[in-house]
Amino acid sequence: MSQQSKQSRPGQRTGVTPLAHDRPMSGQRVTLDDIALAAGTSIATVSRALGGSPRVAAPTRERIEKVAEQLGYRANIAASLLASARPQILGLVCSLSQELHVRYRAEALRYAEDRGFRVIVESIDTSRDVDRAWESVLQLRAQAVIAVDSTCISTRFPNTPAVLIGQRAPRRDIDLVTSSNERGMGQAIALLAQRGSRRIAFLEGPPGPSARAREAAFTQACITHEVDALTVPGGDNVDAGFLAVRAGLPAGVDALVCYNDQCAHGAILALLGDGLVPGRDMLVVGCDNSAIASSRALSLTSIDRAPSRVASLAVDQAIARALSDGGSPARQRVDTELVVRASTG
């Protein structure tokens, strides 16, 4: 026997056929070499089998997969994606303090996975600005970035393909998917007018295209249905809605339309604190049809923004950008729809 044949491979017991249940030392990461040793095959065959290559016969692939499972092997997906010449990775930049953004994230992750793409998510907040969020997803080789709202668009990376879920694209080369406010808001004001409301206040959102678009749709719908429209400073969170109502509403207001469901939640808490019953003493409508709106505790009438449809369109467009080098920017609109619950009687 030659000297070379007498030498054992690392982790192999000399003169003993490796068993499928042999494991590396505790805490040591299982490698393809470990699997090849235990399965009695080459590393190349293991790599092809675990990668789903048709070049590996089914019985061999099944045996290798079983050995890998027994050894506790976990593929280093990040390394394989980063090593790829064209990894199938998208970035998603959002603000997870907003319930609608949480929904967009969930839908985008689900739909992208169905399309064979992975999504790297970065949330912006007081400790992480939008430029750092974009830098992070691009460092992980995202080929295109989906931004939820114009506040999630960075100006530092103008050459990166971008898809915006929002009302107005800040650059002409950015693809845009918009939830159209007009239909849902028109339905909301029509319902309030039908229920007897004649003086309706809109609790405004934070400055930006989204708030302006929702307010414009509110104003036009009030004109159409011949009811008085007022605006009250508000915001996009529970405290903003609570403080807006606690500060006092204009005289004669008999219904509220709030920038989003979180704002409406705060407004309802303030109304209850003042002894007013939503749906009876004051009709309340939110926007986004979030999980909190559909809860039994709140039962909030809200404008649904079709997040599943919006997210699927955004992912489709981002994938198209990731796989190609050009084309005119797309502009797509999705209708909103009112969902009626107890807060409007």
Per-residue pLDDT of 209-225, as tens digits, reads 999 999 999 999 999 99
Q: Are residues 243 and 271 located together in one domain of the fold?
A: yes
Sign of the torsion formed by the C-alpha atoms of 278, 292, 204 and 169: negative
For residue 15, pLDDT beyond 60: no
Q: Are residues 288 and 329 located together in one domain of the fold?
A: no
Q: How many CA atoms lie within 13 A of 315 on its CB side?
A: 25
pLDDT in tens, 188-208: 999 999 999 999 999 999 999
- Which CATH number is 71's domain given? 1.10.260.40
Residue 342 included in any domain: no
Residue 97 included in any domain: yes
Both tokens of 60, joined, read 């061999």
Q: Which residue has the higher pLDDT, 189 or 324?
A: 189
* Mean pLDDT of the 24-51 span: 81
Which pLDDT band holds residue 12 (cuts at 50, 70, 90)? very low
Residue 345 included in any domain: no
User: What's the pLDDT score for residue 10?
Assistant: 43
Q: Are residues 154 and 38 located together in one domain of the fold?
A: no
Domain limits for position 301: 181-305
User: What's the pLDDT score for residue 6?
Assistant: 41
Residue 258 included in any domain: yes
Distance of alpha carbon 238 from alpha carbon 290, whole angstroms: 13
Q: Is there a contact between 82 and 140 (Cβ–Cβ < 8 Å)?
A: yes
User: What's the pLDDT score for residue 86?
Assistant: 63
Residue 121 included in any domain: yes
Q: Are residues 292 and 311 located together in one domain of the fold?
A: no
Residue 6 included in any domain: no
Compute CA distances 325 → 43, 81, 112, 160, 315, whole Å: 36, 20, 20, 11, 16
| Residue 228: strand, helix, or coil | strand
- Which CATH number is 262's domain given? 3.40.50.2300
Which pLDDT band holds residue 85 (cuts at 50, 70, 90)? low
Q: Are residues 193 and 174 located together in one domain of the fold?
A: no
Residue 19 included in any domain: no
Residue 228 included in any domain: yes
Where a domain ends, among 75, 104, 134? 75
User: What's the pLDDT score for residue 50?
Assistant: 81
pLDDT in tens, 113-151: 999 899 999 999 988 999 999 999 999 899 999 999 999
Residue 278 DSSP class: B
Give counts: helices (H), strands (E), the chain: 13, 12
pLDDT in tens, 228-282: 999 999 999 999 999 999 999 999 999 999 999 999 999 999 999 999 999 999 9
Which pLDDT band holds residue 27 (cuts at 50, 70, 90)? low
Backbone angles phi, psi at 122, to 5 degrees: -125, 130
Q: What is the pTM of this model?
A: 0.76
For residue 5, pLDDT beyond 50: no
Task: Quote the longest CA-to-CA distance of the chain.
Answer: 100
* Other Cβ atoms closer than 10 A to 189: 26
The number of distinct structural domains making up the chain is 3
Q: Is there a contact between 292 and 264 (Cβ–Cβ < 8 Å)?
A: no
Where a domain ends, among 75, 105, 136? 75
Q: Are residues 290 and 187 located together in one domain of the fold?
A: yes
